[in-house]
Amino acid sequence: AGVDDYFAHSALHWLEEYHVDGFRMDAVAYMSQPPHEPQGWALMQRFNTELERRYRDAVTIAENFPLQGPIVLPVAAGGAGFDTQYNGIFRGNLRNAIPHNTGSSYFGSFPALMTPSPGLTAGHQSFNYVELHDDAWDIGNNRRWLVDLAPTPGVIADSAEARMRLTLGALLLTP
């Protein structure tokens, strides 16, 4: 109970004192796994219920892979109550649609960018992105996408920057 109170009161403190407009909760999939599944789920529900009750305009984002509909279901319907969750499916489709350093691409991926992902009932439940904090450095041969877009691997050139602008434009034009 003390840990739950700490997290709930900390969130309210940031909203009251610093006027933040929302929160991203990291790794929520691990919070809803045994042996702590009931407690983790209850904490997410409490967090989102408190914010909804006291700060309706605050946005809550779940870093949750894979996508799960219950994460964005209202607490009253048994869900965790988040407003949206990161969409790795969108990211993969976007990366497949834009040519990278091999020159290959699959433009058939563009229509997939316009449809809601499985398990989600509304476009706003999907937080679409190109890169996140986990993608920002080389760990286990995962490089920033700008590096992968370069015609010569590892050498960023104007063409890589142009491809990145195309990527960001596609991101901005999707639901």
Helix (H) or strand (E) holding 24: strand 22-25
Alpha helices in 77-129 (DSSP H): 88-97, 109-113
Give the closest residue to 51 by CA, choosing from 93, 20, 30: 20
Give the closest residue to 127 by CA, choosing from 170, 100, 74, 91: 91
Q: What is the dihedral of CA 173, 135, 72, 14, to 10 degrees?
A: -100
Residue 159 CA to residue 145 CA, distance in Å, equals: 13
63 catalytically annotated: yes
Sheet of 59-62, strands arranged across = 22-25, 59-62, 84-86, 126-127
- Catalytic residue, chosen from 4, 26, 134, 161, is 26
Return the CA Rg of the chain.
19
Residues classed as catalytic: 26, 63
